[in-house]
Amino acid sequence: MAAQSGKDLLVKVDMSGDGTFESAAGLRATRISFNAEAVDVTSLESEGGWRELLAGAGVKTAAISGSGIFRDAATDERMRQVFFAGETPAFQVVIPDFGVVEGPFQISSIEYAGTFDGEATYEMSLSSAGQLSFAAA
């Protein structure tokens, strides 16, 4: 895979619950991480004393984080609405030349900041809230 532009890693939110996704405007930095808990089934009978893990078990999670500046009233308002209502709408993460991850996420934190001589900024963190799908590019 060739080098990719960071601006092409997009976080999109379902604006009205009907599958209409729009990019969260103003993001300057975006990150997604996937995790899977291991289930240790090692016992005294484990060959050579090596740890054994149970395949297909454990909890899978995904986390999205991003930071940026305010650019678009509609998506800014949607993110605030999602946070304060505790909703878990569908989000999409477009990973260039890799694919699209889609599923329910909850905004677990949102922070606003600004200085007297600079722009207002925000940071947000999202946690997966159900099964995610992946469509390869």
Establish if 45 belongs to a structural domain. no
Q: Which residue has the tokens 């060739």?
A: 2
Number of domains into which the chain is organized? 1
Range of the domain at 105: 6-29+68-136
Report the pLDDT averaged over residues 51-56.
93
- Do the domain assignments include residue 39? no
| Measured CA angle at 12 (ends 11, 14), to 5 deg | 150
Residue 32 contacts residue 61 (beta carbons within 8 Å): no
Q: Domain of 78: which CATH number?
A: 2.30.110.20
**pLDDT higher than threshold 70 for residue 24:** yes
Q: Which residues pair with 29 in a beta bridge?
A: 67
The reply to whether 124 falls in a domain is yes
Q: What pTM, to 2 d.p., does this model score?
A: 0.86
In a domain, 46, yes or no: no
Kindly state whether residue 44 falls inside one of the protein's structural domains.
no
User: Tens digit of pLDDT for each residue in 88-120?
Assistant: 999 999 998 899 999 999 999 999 999 899 888
Q: Is residue 101 part of a domain?
A: yes
Instruction: Report pLDDT for 8.
Output: 80
126 within some domain? yes
Q: How high does pLDDT run on average in the chain?
A: 91
6 Cβ partners below 8 Å, 6+ apart? 29, 30
Q: Establish if 122 belongs to a structural domain.
A: yes
